[in-house]
Structure 1
Amino acid sequence: MYVPPGWPAEVRPPGDPDWESSAVAWLLDAVPPDYRAYGVLRRHPLALARMAGYHVRSAIEAARAGYRGAAVDLKDHLPPHAIEAVLEAYRQEGPRLVRLAASIDLVERALRGEPFVPRM
């Protein structure tokens, strides 16, 4: 089964045995641990994917806001090298979150039954 670029390595391709179980395990790792307490999210992977997508997209917005304000908010409390290290952490975390959101979107599309076809 073809999976598009950005498909998470931890998730089996759609149609493989237990692919949805691997998707649930991976999605639960993408959200706060408290989400594991809700059985409905294990029973309905599409609901979990949807919630994970919202959670990660919110984290992206929070990281962008944090990056924009870090230098001003921290200038009276941290030395310049520490502020630069904080900004570098944001510069690394932002793209990671964007990739994660894209992967979650792919898994959600597969859970909805959308087939993936290689593009030429």
Structure 2
Amino acid sequence: MRQTPSITLSPDWPCQVTAPGTQDWDRTATRWLRDLLPARYGTYPTLTRHPVLLARHAELQLRHEVRTMRIALETSRAELPAMGVAASVIENSIRMYAVELQQLGRLSRGVRLVGDALRTHAAGRRA
């Protein structure tokens, strides 16, 4: 029976992706990365057939989502009252934006780790 080497993963490694080097790990990585993107990106074979490109695109997408959340968080108290949004709703939205910003940070770290592993895997196949 063939044993899989013991691999210690970063706490930021996504639980949906099996460890690099295990059977089908790159498929689980591709599936996870694809799920992070808007559904329409799943129709582009260039992205779905090239996991390294998919990881890069997911990194870019998350970077823009983080920027959007920061803007929403920073401007809520100044802009939402003029739109007729109640103070309690504004405070709830600020909490929501803060939680989402933390989640996006975790996802971004996971995408970077998975992308690095995919690039290492791709480089190993070319060598």
Give the TM-score, by structure 2 length.
Answer: 0.86
- What amino acid is aligned across from residue 92 of structure 2 in structure 1? A
Query: How far apart, CA to CA, are the structure 2 residues paired with 1:11 and 1:41?
Result: 18
C-alpha distance in 1 between matches for 2:119 and 2:89:
44
* Offset from partner CA, 1:52-102 (integer Å, 9 cap, x none): 000001100110011111111111211100100110110100000011000
Q: 1:5, CA displacement in angstroms? A: 2.0
Shift in Å, 1:112: 1.1
SS of corresponding position for 2:18: coil
Q: 1:3 aligns with which of 4, 9, 23?
A: 9
Cross-structure match for 2:4: none
Could you tell me which residue of structure 1 aligns to residue 93 of structure 2?
86
Q: What are the within-5 Å matches in structure 2 for residues 1-120 of structure 1?
A: 1-76=7-82, 77-113=84-120
- For structure 1, the 5+ residue unaligned runs are 115-120
Q: Secondary structure at the match of 1:113?
A: helix
SS of 1:52 mapped into structure 2: helix
User: What amino acid maps onto 1:80 in structure 2?
Assistant: A
Q: Deviations over 1:8-48 (max 9, x none)?
A: 00001111111111001100111111110011112110000
Structure with more helix by fraction: 2
Letter in 2 for 1:86: S
Q: Name which structure has the greater RCO, CA cutoff 8 Å, separation 6+.
A: 1
User: Identity of paired residues, percent?
Assistant: 33
Which structure 1 residue ranges, 4+ long, deviate > 4 Å from structure 2? none
TM-score (ref. length: structure 1): 0.91
Gaps of 5+ in 2: 1-6, 122-127
Give the equivalent residue in structure 2 for 1:117.
Answer: none
How many equivalent residue pairs? 114
RMSD: 1.1
